[in-house]
Chains A and B, each alone.
Chain A
């Protein structure tokens, strides 16, 4: 076909064009997200720009498909390979389907990391998790302890009794309880099954059963809203502090009315920021191998585990000082 002839001609021409082009010292990092138009990822892109501004010689390409598909991300990665970016940091729509094209990118000298939603081990050099079990477990109790200087009774309102995530967080938190938060007295763990009605009933049950209850910890976005609503409706604001893991946009009203002092969740801004730091590090000579310790700027540093995965930090705390800002983001 005609295109083939063009292709041949193009080869010669491109040698001229590319050969003459000046070489830029700057590092081009592509932040590839699941889909554009998502507040969570827009916030991550903001963090990425912050990191770029700190690092100085970095250009961020913030991109992603219109719909969250692996095929859409593959098309984008093909164009990033052609642009000869220095690094790709991706939140993947599919851990497996992206492996071949990311392998191709790595074979052309591009550094690849995944963040938020990971890629299988052979398709990336580092995976950055937003947080990890132990940190989440500690954080949910810390949120209660921070506002209970004299200690007191606390209870957990979880999702379902079989939810692996919540169970592992609660176990990790319990393990940290005697040493880190000795004044807290965990009186009960109840399960609201991530159902608003059941969570509301369980929260009311806790309040009736434990008259000295000082805090309800709900490490689930459904339960935390239900508990805060119960505390508000029963006029217990100031007596019982509701805390846990919550989406700022859903939870803002309860921080505003005082039924909760603070809640936590992963911070997308820090996540985008840290992803860029890791990508920049790889593109400028640092090596990704198990045990390696890498800098993520002002967020701190991370150590890679056996699968070159790592966790960024404890969940980020939202309180009266910042809920306004984050509720607009996600």
Chain B
């Protein structure tokens, strides 16, 4: 760690493991912001279609739902846990909304079903991890198959469609001009999660647990309860994402959102959250979501094949992760 004087406030626990180079100026979110702006600039130069309000608005749809899950996932990973089952939660949530639809549910009921199923799935993961003490990666790999499996059993090769007209608003509606409902909801949730992680005691507890769960327990932090709440939150956000995605697709199929868990976790890691827990910031994860959205949309405008996009995102991830480590090594040598 750095040889700087730690702040005197005894309650403050360091929330990043990398050294504080010129503090905020060189912080991870600032670095990411620079990357994001560079990508924005590159996109503007590379394609004449990029700088159009509708194009940018359309681009947000490609990552908003994943980014919403990434907010909760960030907190979960900071606490030292992980949830691989989020795409499975989307599948089962969307399927249950479809089932409710068959019983004539209106839009309000559909949303309530979506939120509750997401929450219940998250709580189920939470109970398995905190009450039975199982490792979260194992539990959620299991529930990932379980949740999606139930969708496949219910739906097979069929699909649910004909959702009510008003339900389409969540994933396709605009609040004002090009500003979509989805996007505004995401920004509001981002502010909410920022406050939760960085401005509340609960957030401090999350960092404490991620740094040393045993020490946290002995310091009076109710570790199991905090973790349980985080799993519930992740399930709830997956439920929100399921509502938005189902509304955007206007239909449910059991293969919905397959493979999203990796993209969500990539956003979180790119956002500077330590995959081993203990450090990270919501700002970073938000900017990372924009970076991933901008890169994929920018490359999409140039009609770059998806497989090359994956390669570029991989290189970007490694570069952004490696850069601070290299910088701090360089600084230590001086």
Binding site for B on A (CB under 8 A): 1-3, 6-7, 10-11, 13-14, 17-18, 21, 36-37, 61, 63-67, 69-72, 74-76, 78-79, 81-84, 94, 96-97, 99-101, 104, 108
Please report the C-alpha to C-alpha distance between residue A70 and residue B187 in the assembled complex, in whole angstroms.
Answer: 26
Q: A18-B48, A66-B306, A100-B250 are in contact. Are A7 and B56 (CB under 8 A)?
A: yes
Q: How far is the CB of B170 from chain A (nearest CB, A)?
A: 12
Interface contact B253-A79, CB-CB below 8 Å: no
8 Å CB contact of B301 from A14, A17, A82:
A82
Question: What would be 13 A-B contacts, judged by CB atoms less than 8 Å apart?
Answer: A2-B33, A10-B53, A14-B52, A18-B52, A36-B305, A70-B253, A76-B300, A78-B61, A79-B297, A82-B59, A96-B249, A97-B250, A104-B172
What mask results when residues 298 to 332 of chain B are scored 1 for a CB within 8 Å of chain A, else 0?
00110101110110000000000000000000000
Besides the known contacts A67-B258, A72-B306, 13 further A-B residue pairs in the complex with CB atoms under 8 A apart? A10-B53, A11-B53, A13-B44, A17-B48, A36-B307, A63-B305, A75-B300, A78-B61, A79-B297, A82-B55, A83-B49, A96-B250, A97-B159
Docked CA distance A10–B45 (Å)? 12
Our pick among A1, A64, A99 for the contact of B187 (Cβ within 8 Å) is A1
A33–B65 CA distance with the chains assembled, in angstroms: 24
Q: Which of B58, B168, B171, B296 contacts A81 (CB 8 A)?
A: B58
> Any chain A CB within 8 A of the CB of B248?
yes
Interface flags for B37-62 (1: CB within 8 Å of A; 0: not) read 00010001001111111111011011
User: Are A84 and B249 in contact, with the CB atoms below 8 A?
Assistant: no
The answer to whether B159 touches A96 (Cβ under 8 A) is: yes
A83 — which chain B residues lie within 8 A by C-beta?
A: 47, 49, 301, 303
Determine the distance from Cα of A83 to Cα of B303 in the docked complex, in whole angstroms.
10
Which partner residue on chain B sits nearest A98 by CB separation?
Answer: B249
Within the complex, what minimum Cβ distance (angstroms) separates A97 from chain B? 4
B296 CB to closest chain A CB (Å) equals 7
Q: Report which B residues bind A (CB closer than 8 A).
A: 33, 40, 44, 47-56, 58-59, 61-62, 159, 161, 168, 171-172, 178, 187, 245, 248-251, 253, 255-259, 286, 290, 296-297, 300-301, 303, 305-307, 309-310
Contacting residue for B296 out of A63, A75, A82, CB 8 A: A75
A65 to B255, CA, bound (A): 15
Interface centre among A3, A10, A64 (most CB of B within 10 A): A3
Q: Which 4 pairs between the two chains have the least Cβ-Cβ distance?
A: A79-B300, A82-B55, A66-B306, A96-B251
CA gap between A66 and B290 in the complex, in Å = 21
B250 touches A82 (CB 8 A): no
Instruction: Chain A residues near B256: list those with CB within 8 A.
Output: 70-71, 97
Which of A13, A64, A70, A74 contacts B51 (CB under 8 A)? A13
